Amino acid sequence: MTETFRGRTLVQGEATGEAVMSARAFTFAHGVEPSSGLVTDIRSDVRGANVRGKVLLYPHGKGSTTASSWFLETVREGNHPVAIVTSSVDLSAVIGSVMAKLLYGRTIPVVSGVSPGNSIKSGMRLSVGGEDATVTVLE
């Protein structure tokens, strides 16, 4: 059975990748190492995971307004997630993605309004994006 979640597209695009699924507040600021994509935040439930090439899901952001620049540096280094999916709007994800397109020509779709609960687990393959802002579990 294919499970699909519908949200709201904040930044357009399409991507496919493995899920890194956090159930806690998430930040790139001081929490993701741009030179590797590794999640370092000791308060994160996905500490030790790598966001590079992944679909990153979390409920909402936290902390510093520098999160967008940490995200952007991760893009500059080529270690960024391919898509970001949140429950409530995280402005730093939106701004980081908009800047990623303008500066480095990378399209990183951002979708909000998705609260998958336990239905999505880290490691599952997901497809994200398109006109109707869906997140689909592929396997």
Partner 1 sequence: MPPTAFKTILGRNSRLHLTAKEEKALGGEEGEARRFAMEIATKVGDAVGAESLVPIKSAHVLAHYSSLHEAGIEVLEKFAGSGGKFAVPTTVDPASIDLENWQSFGVPEDYARQQFRLCEAYAKLGGIQCWTCVQYQVCNFPKQGEDVAWAESSSVVFANSVIGCRSNKITAGMDIACAILGLTPEFGMLIDENRGAKVAYRAAFGTPTDLDYRSLGYFIGKNSGSRVPALEGLPRSVTSDDLKHLGAAAASAGPVTMIHYVGVTPGSGTLAEASKGEKVEVIDVTRKELEGVEADLNQTDDAPDLVALGVPHLSVNELGSLAKLLSGKKLRKGISLYAYTSSQAYEMASRTGISADIEGAGGRMTHSTDAEISPLKKLGFNTVLTNSAKLAEIVSSEGEVRLRYAPLAKIVEEVTD
Q: Least CB distance from residue 98 to partner 1, whole Å?
A: 5
Q: Least CB distance from residue 97 to partner 1, whole Å?
A: 8
Size of the site for partner 1 (CB under 8 A): 42
Q: Which of 2, 3, 24, 26 is nearest to 84 (CA)?
A: 26
Kindly name the residue from 35, 36, 44, 64 that is annotated as catalytic.
Answer: 64
Distance CA 45, CA 106 (A): 27
Q: Least CB distance from residue 113 to partner 1, whole Å?
A: 11
DSSP 8-state code for residue 49:
-
Residue with tokens 């956090």: 22
Read off φ and ψ for residue 16, nearest 5 degrees. Answer: -130, 140
Q: Does 98 bind partner 1 (CB under 8 A)?
A: yes
**Residue 103 in tokens:** 């500066």
Residue with tokens 């902390």: 63
Q: Does 106 bind partner 1 (CB under 8 A)?
A: no
The one among 69, 115, 134, 136 contacting partner 1 by CB under 8 A: 69
Name every residue whose Cβ is closer than 8 Å to that of residue 132 and which is 6 or more positions away in sequence. Answer: 6
Active site residue 35: no
Q: Does 67 bind partner 1 (CB under 8 A)?
A: yes
The one among 89, 106, 130, 136 contacting partner 1 by CB under 8 A: 89
